[in-house]
Structure 1
Amino acid sequence: MRRLVLLAPAVALLAGCGTTTVTGTAAPSPPSASANSSNAGGLPPDPQPGATGDCPYLDSEVVAEANGQHVSKVRVSADQPHPACFFYRPDGKVQLTVRVYVGDAKTATALVNQAAPLDSSNPASDPSGWKGGYLSTDDGAVYAVAKGTAAVIASTNQKQSVKARTVVKKVIAALKL
């Protein structure tokens, strides 16, 4: 009986301790929107220059004439069916970039608004039926327009947005968007 008396407090103490079962696996928390500002709001990521090659919808001579600089090299992104095209000047720096998006109308508009924000850009409506914006910065100019499910965005190292607009119009005509 003595053993029972001595064991009783130990059993009572252990009875109060239950086991906790954890199910599932630990998962890392999703990255915040600020971790990749180019992908904020679910937009496609900014295109990156890839292979050296010709731009399938814009000739180097057209860019040289429109932008006023010799084109030494062209690189294209992996995006399909319309890769972004990066035109380089002789010193190895990018002089002009063109991005074409065809897909969802809301995404097309959002890409244009990201490139030329409504609150800080001038309204653009050329060519007819396309809407967006253009602006000049210390680094150059951008001209971005959307129509339906398509968007075309050109960024240049030149401060005159007319150069980017000329390129955008050539791309739209070439792709028959």
Structure 2
Amino acid sequence: MRRILQLAPALVLLAGCAPAAPVAETPPPSSSAAPASSSAVMPPDPRPTRAGQCPYLSKQEVQDTNGQHVTAVKLSADQPTPACFFYRPDGSVQLSVRVYTGTSAIAKALVDKAAPVDTSNPADQPAGWKGGYQPSADGVVYAVAKAGSAVVVTSNQKQSIKARTVAEKAIAALKL
């Protein structure tokens, strides 16, 4: 027993010198929903930065479609097509519309980020557009892409038809 106690410090020292078992490095979480094989970089989520008129949807269209009074509209700094944020009388966002034009890979990744293919219901309107819709914590999201364009609509309403109708109106106005 005494011999073991004398060898214990040496064993601890040797154990510290032994090569560690290889540890698989986990890559840091990415804010990008783009596939790993893609070198494309996802644009950041839009934020409202200034008051203004949405260039592809009027306050009246959103009021009529979403069923709530719009008291303010704010736009993101994104160019050439800003995201539009429509506000309720209580100051909260009732509906937002994000439009992306660029690469097909990023358009699809934006849609998959908003309404993941694995968890959302399939969306295919307007004709030729593909994506998904699903409930969110605050309402619903409807996201579709076609070629290098994507449209993502979030609404505080639970009915997906409202978000889908807004997406169709934005796509028609932008002639995407």
Q: Match for residue 63 of structure 2?
A: 64
TM-score (norm: length of structure 2): 0.79
Q: Deviations over 1:86-127 (max 9, x none)?
A: 000000000000000000000000000000001110000000
Indicate whether 1:126 and 2:112 are aligned. Answer: no
Amino acid across the alignment from 2:56: Y
Instruction: Measure the CA separation in 2 of the matches of 1:154 and 1:143.
Output: 5
Q: Secondary structure at the match of 1:170?
A: helix
Deviations along 1:3-50, one digit per CA (max 9) or x if unpaired, are xxxxxxxxxxxxxxxxxxxxxxxxxxxx9435xx3x454311000001
| Letter of the 1:138 counterpart | A
What stretches of structure 2 of length at least 5 have no aligned partner? Answer: 1-26, 35-40
* Alpha carbons of structure 1 residues 132 and 40: separation in structure 2 relative to 1, 3 Å: closer
| 1:111-159 residue CA offsets vs partner (Å, 9 max, x unmatched) | 0000000111000000000000001133100100000000001000001
1:33 aligns to 2:29 (yes or no): yes
Partner of 1:23: none
Q: Confirm or deny: 8 A CA contact 1:52 1:73 kept in the other structure.
A: yes
Contact 2:63 2:69 in 1 (8 A): yes
Give the aligned CA root-mean-square deviation in angstroms. Answer: 1.3
Which structure has the larger Rg over C-alpha atoms?
A: 1
Match of 2:158 in 1: 159
Unaligned 5+ segments in structure 1 are 1-30
Task: State whether residues 134 and 143 of structure 1, in contact with CA within 8 Å, keep that contact through their aligned partners in structure 2.
Answer: yes
In structure 2, distance between residues paired with 1:159 and 1:40: 25
Residues 44-59 of structure 1 aligned to structure 2 (within 5 Å): 44-59=43-58
Q: Which has the higher helix share?
A: 1
**1: CA distance, partners of 2:175 / 2:136:** 30
Q: Give the superposition deviation at 1:164.
A: 0.4
- Amino-acid identity (%): 62
Q: Distance in 2 between matches of 1:47 and 1:139?
A: 18
